[in-house]
Every structure is written in structure tokens, then in C-alpha cells.
Copies of this chain bind each other. A is one copy, B any other.
Amino acid sequence: MKFYDYPGAPNPRRVKIFAAEKGIELEVVMTDMAKREHKTAEFMRKNPSGKIPVLELDDGTCIGESVAISRYLESVQPEPNLFGLDPVEIAVIEMHHRHIELELLSQIGASWVNGPIVAKMGLIEPIEAAKERGDLMTKSFYKRLDLALGEHPYIAGERYTVADITAICTIDFATRLVGLRPADEHKNIWEWHERVTARPAVTD
């Protein structure tokens, strides 16, 4: 079982934290994105999306997407549960998880793709208006998230789940690389951030 990774990238980090919560050790294979190793013909056979992370099983099956890999790990190592246990909990965790992905991560992604670091790489023509919209939508979601985290201690409610892992990687990525750090006044977000980063599994 090989895990194709690149340090600092937010999506592999999600899986590394998820695996650490379950006590699963991953055999890490470095895929140098700076050298475009994720776009070689050999890598594209493992994942036609040309993205990391990928988990390659011993029989050669490749799972190329962070949540799909996390679900595999949840199936083979159910404890501690991170995706929910009964029909309502499974649905509520999925809802909160997808709200973070579809309404926060996607907007931060738009600001990243159209921002200065990606522009310097020369791979894509930045669209300034798309970055502005991404920034605006991100800040708006932070307000909503801060209110929600005043109501319950974790993203999906009373306990720590996969939705927290995605949120921590999303917000750290936004803070470190996209210039979209949540404002200091969002005290509930920052208290949650401290609560979650105190976990031994939550590393950089």
C-alpha cells in the first residue's frame, strides 16, 4: 500500500491526519509537484486526474482522491469512527463536510488558482475578478462558520469527525498560502482551531 504525497499540499494532508487518527501507517512515496511528477504518463495511469494524493493498493488498484481514500481507511479500520455510525449521523456529518468542501474549499481554491503564486508558475492565466469573488465568498463563509462554532464545538456537532479534518486543512491552506486567514474577531473559529490542532494526529 503506497501513498503518493507532496508535503504542504492540503489534500494529502487530509488523508495523513485521517490515517493518524486511526493509527494506520502509510508508506509514503514523494511525488514532486514542483517537478510536475503528478503529470507524467506513468502517474496519469494511476490517476487520470493528474492529482495527489493517490493510494495504491498491493494489487495495483489506485484510489486517486482524498475522501475516497479516507473512506477506504474507514472501511478497513472502523475505529475511531470519523464518518458517522447511524443513518442520521452519517447524513449530518456528510452535509457539514460537503458544506465545507463546496462552499469554503472551492472558493479558497478559486482564489488560489487565480492568485499570485499560481500565476508565477505560468500554468494558468489568472482571472482577477474570480479571485475577488473567491475572497469575498470565503470571508462570508467564515462569518457563518464562526456563528455555527458558537453553537457546537466541532464542525458536524458534538464530536470530532472527518469534517474537522477537511476544515483544518482548508483553513490552514487559506492562511498559509492564499492570504485568506480568518479574522481575529472570529473567536469561535480560533477556539475550534486550537481544540483541533491540539490532537496528536493533527500535524503539518
Contacts and interface: CB of A to CB of B under 8 A. Distances in A.
B75 A87 contact: yes
Contact of A91 (B49, B71, B94): B71
A144 B48 contact: yes
Tell me the interface secondary structure of chain A in the complex.
helix
Most central of A63, A69, A94, A95 by chain B CB within 10 Å: A95
Given A61-B88, A103-B49, A94 B67 contact: yes
Contacts of A68: 91-92, 94-95, 98
Interface residues on A, range: 20 to 34
Given A65-B98, A65-B99, A91 B72 contact: yes
Interface of A: 48-49, 57, 61, 63-65, 67-69, 71-72, 75-76, 86-88, 90-92, 94-95, 98-99, 102-103, 106, 125, 127, 129-130, 133, 144, 148
